[in-house]
Amino acid sequence: MRQPSRTDPLFVAVESAAITRAHVAGLVAGRIAAVRVPGLLPAARCHAITAALADAEMDRYDESRVFPVVAKFGPAINDHRDGGDLRDDYWEAARAAEKGWSTLGLPDAPRELCLAAFRAAWPDVAPGRRHRREMHVGIVREINAGLQVHFDDAVREYAGRLLDAEVVAQLAFNIYVRVPPVGGETVLWRRRWQPDDEDLRIPGGYGYHESVADGAQSLTLRPALGEGFLFDPRHYHTVRPATDGRRISIGCFVGLTDDGRLALWS
C-alpha cells in the first residue's frame, strides 16, 4: 500500500498508565489519534474472565452482515438497528446479557470495567440514556478472523438520535482480555468517510474494501494482554485476523454529550 510522503504529527498513539481528562479532550480535539493503557486490567483478571466465559453462552453478530463471523456476549447496537432507529429487542438482549453475566461468578461486569476506566478522567461518567433507559455497556467480542475495514459513527447511523443527549463526539474503547500470539492487530487510518467511499462498500457487509484507506497514514496496535485502547472510531479501522489463538476484548463506545458528560453504550 502507498505510504504518505509526509506524516501528521498529531496522528499518534500516546501511552499512559491511565486514561485522563487530557486524553479524552485530546482525542475529541484531534490532538492525538489513540491512547494505549498497558496493564489496565491485571493479567489474572483477564484470565479469570476468559476462563469464566468458557461456561457462558456466546452468540454471534448477525452473520448476514458481519462476516467473517464475530462471536460476542451481550448486545451490539448495530445488530438491533432498523434504519436510523434502535429496535426494542435490544433491551431484551441487554437484560439477558446482564442476567447471564451475573451467573459467571466474576467480581465485575463488563459495564463496571468500562465505566471504571473513565471515572478518574471525567467528573460525570455513566451509561448513555435512550428514552430515559440506561443503555447496555460492555460487549465481549471474540474477533478471531478479523473485521472489515469500517468506521463507527452513531450520528450517521442513528438519524433519530441514539441517546437522549446529543453526542458531540464518539470514541471507541476496548480492553483486551485474551490476545493471540500472532495477528489480531488493530489498524487505524487517518481517513474518515467520504460520500464516494460508498463505491467501495463490501456488498451486504458493514465495511469497505481496504483500498478506501489507500495512501492514508496509519497506526497499528498489537494489543497486549490487559491493555486498554481508546480511539476516534470515525477514522477507518480494522482488526487483522489472528492466525493462531483467540482474541477477546471487552469494549464500548464513549460519547461526549452536549451537557459535558461521558455517556457509554454498546
Ligand X SMILES: O=C(O)CCC(=O)C(=O)O
- Is 149 an interacting residue with respect to ligand X (CB under 6 A)? no
Q: How far apart are CA 102 and CA 159, in angstroms?
A: 34
* Amino acid identity for residue 194 in this structure: Q
Question: Three-class SS string for 94-142?
Answer: HHHHHHHHHCCCCCCCHHHHHHHHHHCCCCCEEECEECCEECCCCEEEE
Among 186, 218, 257, 266, binds ligand X (CB under 6 A): 186
- Is 79 an interacting residue with respect to Fe ion (CB under 5 A)? no
Among 72, 136, 234, 237, binds ligand X (CB under 6 A): 237
Among 79, 142, 152, 232, binds Fe ion (CB under 5 A): 152
- Is 167 an interacting residue with respect to ligand X (CB under 6 A)? no
Closest contact distance (angstroms) between CB of 161 and Fe ion is 20
**Smaller CB separation from ligand X, 106 or 147:** 147
Phi, psi (degrees; rounded to nearest 5) at 92: -65, -40
Q: How far apart are CA 252 and CA 11, in angstroms?
A: 22
Planar angle of CA 50, 53, 56, nearest 5 degrees: 175
Among 49, 135, 163, 239, binds ligand X (CB under 6 A): 239
Contacting residues toward ligand X, per CB under 6 A = 143, 147, 152, 172, 174, 186, 229, 233, 237, 239, 249, 251
Contacting residues toward Fe ion, per CB under 5 A = 152, 233
